[in-house]
Amino acid sequence: MAPDEHDPVLLRTEGRAAYITLNRPRAINALTHPMVRTIDAALAGWESDDAVAAVVISGAGERGLCAGGDIRAIHDDARVGGWASVGFWRDEYRLNARIARFPKPYVALMDGIVMGGGVGVSAHGSVRIVTERSRIAMPETGIGFVPDVGGTHLLARAPGELGTHLALTGEAVGAGDALLLGLADHFVPSARLAELAAAIASEDVTAAVRRYAEPAPAGRLAGARGWIDHCYAADTVEDIVDRLLACGESEAKETAETVLGRSPRSLKVTLESIRRARVLGELEPVLEQEFRVSCTTLSSPDLVEGIRAQVVDKDRRPRWSPQELSGVTRSEVERHFAPLEVPGLGFPR
């Protein structure tokens, strides 16, 4: 039976390829729990289907692949002290792991906005395509949350302290910087994505990508490595801010102001998450860590307040609790990494 055009995930096969289209264009294809389950079930089936040699994921509409998870649903759940988000995260993070270990080429067309959960369904793939329209970010500190979906794993592996910079600020990057950070592999102009996707139905992925790929436009982060690596190597968020303000670069001072506008609690937990992810190394242990952090953050007043300010009321004036970095104690940060009373993700060892 053909999928209904209103289905939030469209699945089809053509030739040697299978295609996933996220189909909520009015919400920039934000992920819901049923969408995650649909994608996971499809990948599970295609893993052992000899007729499928590659998978291509893209987003419907003109705005982007995926703007992230459905944070309004998370807001409503957190506001009433619910636990529905825990089930969503468990299935979402398991999907991220499945994508990372998928045994066939998994081609992610990272056109337009790719943020949060959108990074999770794309940047763990084996063939990641960016365009001149790509805007990629893990913006969670701005809503009182912490980078998840394996984002701390990806950012911890970026050159120098670039990943720490993006994790704390939530800054969005374009194609050139995504390639530098290791979030993408190839640049293809957006006007040629449809041709590339169609070609994968009949030819080898490597050959198809080679035919359509071009040099990416230059990014801006490489030229900022000096002050970024110096400032973000500090041990605490307070010291990072002090270094940003003192280093003499106007961009660094602007960055300090950006950081100070984020949730103090989220900033400290994010920095700890990135540092621990470097030690853990592999994706699945990092996802387990992120699951603990996410579940603990669900009860944080900053999560409800951050989503209210940025998405619900859109007044862009969150009232963080505590309001200052000094108000977030070391014990409060450590609490986010403690064992959970709910079952974990249960990856096989």
Instruction: Look at residues 73, 151, 80, 86 and name the one whose alpha carbon lies nearest to residue 115.
Output: 151
Residue type at 252 in one-letter notation: A
Q: Give yes or no for a cis peptide into 322 (omega within 30° of 0).
A: yes
Q: How far apart are CA 47 and CA 96, in angstroms?
A: 15
The pTM of this model reads 0.95
The residues annotated as belonging to the active site are: 69, 117, 140, 148
Question: Is residue 6 packed enough to be buried (19+ CB in 10 Å), middle (13-18) or exposed (0-12)?
Answer: exposed
Q: Give the Cα separation of 269 and 179 in Å (integer).
A: 26
The packing angle between helices 283-297 and 84-100, to 10°, is: 160
How far apart are alpha carbons 255 and 241 in whole angstroms? 9
- The mean per-residue pLDDT over the stretch 290-300 comes to 95
Q: Indicate the DSSP class of residue 131.
A: -
Residues 6+ apart with CB under 8 A from 50: none
Distance CA 273, CA 150 (A): 11
What's the pLDDT tens digit per position in 70-85? 889 999 999 888 889 9
pLDDT in tens, 41-97: 999 999 999 999 999 999 999 999 999 998 899 999 998 888 899 999 999 999 999
What share of the chain has pLDDT > 90, as a percent?
A: 91
Closest CA to 50 of 10, 99, 13, 6: 13
- Helix (H), strand (E), coil (C) string for 42-57: HHHHHHCCCCCCEEEE
Q: Which pLDDT value is given to residue 122?
A: 98
**Averaged pLDDT for residues 156-183:** 98
232 within 8 A of 161, measured Cβ to Cβ: yes
